[in-house]
Chains A and B, each alone.
Chain A
Amino acid sequence: MSRRLFGLCLVGGLGGAFSLVLVMLAAQVGYAGVREPLTALIQPDIRHAIRLSLFCATVAAGLAMVFAVPAAYALARYRFPGRMLVDALLDVPIIISPIAIGITLLLMFRSAPGSWVQEHLVRFVFEVPGIILAQFIIALALEIRVLKATFEEISPRLEQVARYLGCGPWAAMWRVTLPLARPGLIAAMVLGWGRAIGDYGATVTIAGSVKGKTDTIPVSIVLNWSAVRIEAAVALVMVLTAIALLVLLSVRTLARGRPA
C-alpha cells in the first residue's frame, strides 16, 4: 500500500508538472491556431525583431564567453584573497531582477565616466549596443557559473602533467583543458545565448522599446500584445518557445556526451 502511494505521488508530481507546461504550450496554438501566427512571421517588423534578437544575443553571448572562460578558470583553479566575494559578486546578475540590471546600467551611463563613453565612444542608451550590453551582463553571469563547474570537474593534474611534457600554460589550456571542457563551453554558450535572447527587463530599461530599432523578440511581444496584435505576439511567443526547447535539448544532449 505504502509503495503504491509512493509511486502514485511520483507519477502525480511528474504528470502534473508536465501537463501544466503542455497545457500552456497548447494554449499558444489553441488561441491563435498555427496558420495565422506563421503568416505573422513574415511581417517585416516581426522579422526585424527576430533578426535583431538573433544578432544581439549571439554577439552578447559570444563576447561574454571571451570574459567568462578566463574568469571561470581563475575562480576554479586559483585561491586568492577576496575570491569568495568576487565569486558572489559575479553571481549577482543571476539573482537580481533584469530590470534592476537595466536601471543600474542607466545609472552607470549617467555618471561622468559613463557619459564620456556615451559621447566619445559608443552610445548605449536607447541604442542597439545597449541591448548587447544588457544581454552581455545577463549571459556573462550564467556562462561563468556553467564554466566554473566545468573547469572544476577537470583534474588540474592533467594540466600539470601536460606542463611537464613540455606545454606552456597556453598550450596546456589549448591542448588539454579546452578540449575537455568542450561540452561545458558549448553548454555555457547555448545557455548564455538562450538567456540573452529571452531577456526583456534589462533590454527594455536601457534600450527602450523603439519599434523597428530596439524591439527584440520579448519587447516586440509586449508591443504587439499592447496593440492587440495577438497573432503576431503569439507567433513571437512560439519562436521563443521553440528556441527554449532547442536550447534545453542541446544542453541535455551535450551533458550526456560529456567525457569521463
Chain B
Amino acid sequence: MITVRHLSATYGGFTLHDVNLDVHEGGCLAILGPSGAGKTLLLETVMGARRPRRGEVLLDGRNITDLPPEARRIAYIPQDLALFPHLSVRDNIVFGLPSRSARRAATDALKRLAAMLRIEHILDRRHVGTLSGGERQRVALARAMIVQPRVLFLDEPFSSLDAATASDLLWSFREMHQQMRTTVFLVTHDLHEAGLLANDVAIMIDGRIVESGPRDTVFRHPRSVTVARFLNIRNIIPLSDLPPSARHFATGSGNGCTHLAIRAEEVVLAPVSAQHDVGLRARLEELIPCGANVIARLTVHGTWPLEAVLDHARATEIERCVAGEVAVSILPHGALYLHDSQDERSNAPGRQPAGTSVPR
C-alpha cells in the first residue's frame, strides 16, 4: 500500500498543494486531470524523481521519501516508454533483473509474461525500433512487471496509441493487473482508461486534488462544477438561472449546492404526443451524428441550452422533430446537484427523484 501525506512540491513555477492519497494493496489509483494540472509532477514526486518541499510518501508503512529510486522496488513506465534502443526486445524485458545470471535464467518468467502480453513472436527482435506502437507498449509493460514491483507507476502510457490499439492494450493490461494484483499508480486524462483500470480515482485541477474516492462514486456523483465539467457532464446550469417552470429542480438540492447538472446520456427525448401533454418540452435544434451516438442540441424555454446523447435508433425516431418540440424526461439519477467552489464539499450529493419529469 502506498500512502501520500501532505505532499507539496514546486517545479518550474508550478506547485502541488498538500496532496493526500492512499493506494490500496493490489489496487489501481488513477490521477485524472486536464493537461497542465500537475499530474506528472505529482507522479514524479511520489515515485521520488523530484524532491517534495513538504510531506512524505509511505510504502507499506515505511517512509520512502528520501530513498533513492533503485531502493524503492517500484517500476515506472513513462509516456514515451523509454525502451532502451541499444538492447534487443528480450534484453529490454529482463533489464531489471538483479544479476546477469538472473537475466539468463529468467526464461519461465519471460515466457509467462510474453504469453500474457502476446509478445512471444517479437522476443527475438534485435532492435526495439522495429516494433509497432502497441508492441512497444507491451514490451514496456513486460519490462516493468518482470521485476515484480511493489508499485507500478504509469504516466499516460496509452496516450500515443491509436484508439483501437489503445483499447486492445487496455484490456490486456486490465487482465494482467487482475492476475498479478500489482499496486498501480496511474496518471491519465482519459476517463475511459481510468474507468477500465482504476478502483479509485483522484481528480487533480491546478495542482490540487479536488475530489477523490472510489471510481464509481466520483464518476457517478461528482460534487463540484469543476469536476463535473472535467467528467464531461455537459448540462450544467446555476440553480438561480433555472426557468420558472423548472424551479422545482432546485428543491432537490441542499447543503449549499449552487448548480444543477444533467448527464446528456440520461436525457430521454420523445416526439410530443397526447401521452406527453405534461412534462418538460424543448425545441430540438439539431441532431449531430458522432460515431456510435447522436448528439441532440435542444433549447428549453428559449434560453436554457440542453444536450442529449441518443443512440441512432432513437435519433431516427425523433428526426422529424428537428426545429420543433420534443418531450424531455430525465432518467433516474440523471440530475446532480453541485457546489460552485472547489473547496466547498457536500457529504451527500443531492439526487433527483427517479423518473421525474418537469411540468411545463
Contact = CB atoms under 8 A, between A and B. Distances in A.
Given A164-B69, A166-B98, 5 more contacts: A164-B47, A165-B75, A165-B144, A176-B84, A259-B129
Interface in A31-77: none
B278 interface: no
Interface in B127-168: 129, 143-144, 147, 153
21 contacts: A157-B78, A157-B80, A158-B82, A160-B78, A160-B82, A161-B77, A162-B95, A163-B68, A164-B47, A164-B69, A164-B72, A164-B153, A166-B70, A166-B96, A168-B68, A171-B70, A176-B84, A180-B86, A259-B85, A259-B129, A260-B129
Given A166-B70, A180-B85, A260-B85, A161 B78 contact: yes
Which residue, of B69, B78, B143, has the highest number of chain A Cβ atoms within 10 A? B69
Contacts of B72: 164
B-side binding surface: helix, strand, loop or mixed?
loop
Contact of B82 (A157, A167, A179): A157
B49 interface: yes
A164 B44 CA distance: 12
A111 interface: no
A2 interface: no
Nearest to A180: B86
Contacts of B70: 163-164, 166-168, 171
A179 B86 contact: yes
A155 B76 CA distance: 15
A160 B69 contact: yes
Contact of B49 (A155, A160, A176, A180): A160
A133 to B, nearest CB: 35
A161 B82 contact: yes
Interface string A141-168: 0000000000000010110111111111
A168 B72 CA distance: 11
A259 B96 CA distance: 22
A260 B143 CA distance: 20
A223 B32 CA distance: 75
B250 to A, nearest CB: 51
Interface string B77-107: 1101010111000000001101000000000
B86 to A, nearest CB: 5
Contacts of A166: 70, 96, 98, 147
Contacts of B203: none
Interface string A220-246: 000000000000000000000000000
Contacts of B74: 164
Interface in B143-198: 143-144, 147, 153
B69 to A, nearest CB: 4
Given A157-B78, A260-B129, A163 B84 contact: no
Interface in A148-201: 155, 157-158, 160-168, 171, 175-176, 179-180
B63 to A, nearest CB: 18
Contacts of B85: 180, 259-260
Contacts of A167: 70
A155 B68 CA distance: 20
A40 B143 CA distance: 61
A-B CB proximity, top 6 nearest: A165-B96, A163-B69, A164-B76, A161-B82, A157-B82, A179-B86
